[in-house]
């Protein structure tokens, strides 16, 4: 079968659970802003239906959704250039998600490491939605025939599952309908780690606020968190190779590189052998310089929730014009009667 050609199209998403933190910005949003400059159509989604795979307080969910959208806009996602919306406003995500639940195999789902990590020892009590999460994610991506998905290292397995689903669908129905999407994993900060434990990902839901930098933290808080960040006692190495097996040091250098649009090697060349007493304050100053304008703009946008809601409604409208014909063709391929 000949491989159909697909318009280069980028899709990515962020969950609105808790506030935005530095890992979301460096690992996702900042890279999406860069992708907007390329020859792609860009679709960015606040994935609220993924958020409810674990309990979300209804009081906070809508505002959390607005806050993630505000963070994206403040950081430079332009709703006139990119399609920006929240997932639950485009019903086709759930509809295609169901079809993919019937394509994905239990054996595939059982290999998903994120489910195992999140469900932990209590997997019997996890929601069915948490188990099916990667299948809904495949629907997010393939509903737009997206060809490229910028994600962090931890999402690579889910994009591989998306490829497996596309291949099986195409094969079972004898069509060449869904593209085989490429994950785009690059840059120094595809995995921003926890400031108290360099082997764990920085997350919004971790126990201690000291382990993450929130996009809304003020300058003093940012300085304090970097100063208290856990490291080994050795100073920075003379060359980047010296960061191997030093996860906390590596993480702080990666964060510096991502914030300054350089590479870890360039950061080490700038601070060879520097002690933490020099490097941590420099990192804090850089973070404040880069994040303060974004958090200021986020606060300004959040003061007018109705305006954010209008932007998301317009984005959802644009998303539906791409998604609905693809869903309709999928139903036809599957043989679901539309009378
Ligand atoms: N699972 C992603 C995360 O936790 C979020 C997400 C949902 C996503 N759907 C997506 C990312 C589609 C990329 C494409 O980070």
Separation of CA 296 and ligand 1 centre (Å) = 26
Name the residue of 11, 13, 25 to mutate for ligand 1: max ligand atoms within 8 A of Cβ: 13
Interval 52-106: pLDDT, tens = 999 999 999 999 999 999 999 999 999 999 999 999 999 999 999 999 999 999 9
Question: What's the residue count for the chain?
Answer: 339
Query: Is 50 exceeded by the pLDDT of residue 123?
Result: yes
Name the residue of 9, 10, 15, 145 to mutate for ligand 1: max ligand atoms within 8 A of Cβ: 15
Residue closest via CA to ligand 1's atom 14 equals 12
Q: How far is CA 140 from CA 20, 126, 327, in A?
A: 21, 22, 11
Residue closest via CA to ligand 1's atom 8 equals 13
Residue closest via CA to ligand 1's atom 15 equals 14
Quick one: angle between helices 276-302 and 305-334, nearest 10?
Answer: 90
312-322 per-residue burial string, b: 16 or more CB within 10 A, e: under 16: beebbebbbeb
Separation of CA 19 and ligand 1 centre (Å) = 16
Separation of CA 9 and ligand 1 centre (Å) = 16
User: CATH 3.40.50.620 region(s) of the chain?
Assistant: 9-184+304-334
Total Cβ atoms within 10 A of residue 133: 25
Nearest atom of ligand 1 to the alpha carbon of 152? 15
Select from 3.40.50.300, 3.40.50.620, 3.40.47.10, 1.10.3720.10 the CATH code of 9-184+304-334.
Answer: 3.40.50.620
Separation of CA 220 and ligand 1 centre (Å) = 32
Cα–Cα nearest to 102, from 127, 130, 138:
138
Cα–Cα nearest to 264, from 281, 246, 278:
246
Query: Is 70 exceeded by the pLDDT of residue 195?
Result: yes
Domain 209-300 in CATH: superfamily? Answer: Tyrosyl-Transfer RNA Synthetase (1.10.240.10)
pLDDT of residue 281: 96
Q: How far is CA 74 from CA 174, 232, 302, in A?
A: 44, 35, 10
Confidence label for 237 from pLDDT (cuts 50, 70 and 90): very high
Tell me which residues are annotated as active site. Answer: 118, 201, 204
Separation of CA 257 and ligand 1 centre (Å) = 24
The token duo for 336 is: 């679901």
Separation of CA 45 and ligand 1 centre (Å) = 9
Nearest atom of ligand 1 to the alpha carbon of 134? 1
Cα–Cα nearest to 31, from 220, 259, 247:
259
- Residue 332: φ, ψ to 5°: -65, -45
Query: Is 80 exceeded by the pLDDT of residue 107?
Result: yes
Confidence label for 3 from pLDDT (cuts 50, 70 and 90): low
pLDDT of residue 74: 97
Separation of CA 328 and ligand 1 centre (Å) = 24
H or E, element range at 28: none
Over range 214-238, report the average pLDDT.
Answer: 94
Confidence label for 138 from pLDDT (cuts 50, 70 and 90): very high
Which DSSP string corresponds to 286-339? HHHHHHHHHHHHHHHHHT-HHHHHHHHHHHHHHHHHHHHHHHHHHHHHHT----
Ligand 1 lining (C-beta closer than 6 Å): 11-13, 15, 47, 50, 137, 140-141, 149, 151, 155, 158
Beta pairing class for 148-150 and 182-184? parallel
Residue-averaged pLDDT of the chain: 95
Confidence label for 187 from pLDDT (cuts 50, 70 and 90): confident
pLDDT of residue 203: 86
Name the residue of 49, 85, 134, 158 to mutate for ligand 1: max ligand atoms within 8 A of Cβ: 158
User: What is the C-alpha to C-alpha distance for residues 166 and 3, in angstroms, rounded to an integer?
Assistant: 13
Nearest atom of ligand 1 to the alpha carbon of 140? 12
Confidence label for 191 from pLDDT (cuts 50, 70 and 90): confident
pLDDT of residue 20: 92
pLDDT of residue 152: 87
Residue closest via CA to ligand 1's atom 9 equals 137
Residue closest via CA to ligand 1's atom 6 equals 13
Nearest atom of ligand 1 to the alpha carbon of 15? 5
pLDDT of residue 1: 45
Name the residue of 27, 35, 47 to mutate for ligand 1: max ligand atoms within 8 A of Cβ: 47
User: What is the C-alpha to C-alpha distance for residues 38 and 99, in angstroms, rounded to an integer?
Assistant: 32
User: CATH 1.10.240.10 region(s) of the chain?
Assistant: 209-300
């Amino acid at each position: 079968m000949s491989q159909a050609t697909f318009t280069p199209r980028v899709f990515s998403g962020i969950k609105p659970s808790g506030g935005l933190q530095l890992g979301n910005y460096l690992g996702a949003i900042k890279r999406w802003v860069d992708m907007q400059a390329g020859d792609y159509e860009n679709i960015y989604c606040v994935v609220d239906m993924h958020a409810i795979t674990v309990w979300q307080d209804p009081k906070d969910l809508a505002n959390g959704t607005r806050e993630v959208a505000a963070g994206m806009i403040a950081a430079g996602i332009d709703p006139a250039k990119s399609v920006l919306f929240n997932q639950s406003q485009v019903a086709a995500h759930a509809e295609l998600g169901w079809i993919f639940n019937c394509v994905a195999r239990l054996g595939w789902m059982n290999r998903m490491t994120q489910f195992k990590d999140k469900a932990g020892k209590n997997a019997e009590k996890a929601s069915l939605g948490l188990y099916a999460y990667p299948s809904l994610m495949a629907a997010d991506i393939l509903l737009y025939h997206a060809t490229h998905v910028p994600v962090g290292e931890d999402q690579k397995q889910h994009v591989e599952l998306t490829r497996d689903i596309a291949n099986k669908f195409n094969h079972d129905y004898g069509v060449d309908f869904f593209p085989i999407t490429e994950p785009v994993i690059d840059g120094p900060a595809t995995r921003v780690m926890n400031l108290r434990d360099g082997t764990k990902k920085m997350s919004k839901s971790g126990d201690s606020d000291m382990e993450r930098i929130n996009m809304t933290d003020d300058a003093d808080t940012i300085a304090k968190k970097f100063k208290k960040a856990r490291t080994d006692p050795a100073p920075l190495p003379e060359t980047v190779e010296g960061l191997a097996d030093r996860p906390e040091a590596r993480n702080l250098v990666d964060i510096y590189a991502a914030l300054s649009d350089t590479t870890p090697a360039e950061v080490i060349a700038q601070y060879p052998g520097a002690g933490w007493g020099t490097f941590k304050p420099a990192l804090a100053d850089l973070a404040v310089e880069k994040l303060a304008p974004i958090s200021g703009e986020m606060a300004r946008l959040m003061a007018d929730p109705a305006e954010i809601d209008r932007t998301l409604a317009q984005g959802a409208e644009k998303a539906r014009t791409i998604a609905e014909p693809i869903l309709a063709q999928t139903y036809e391929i599957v043989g679901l009667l539309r009378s």
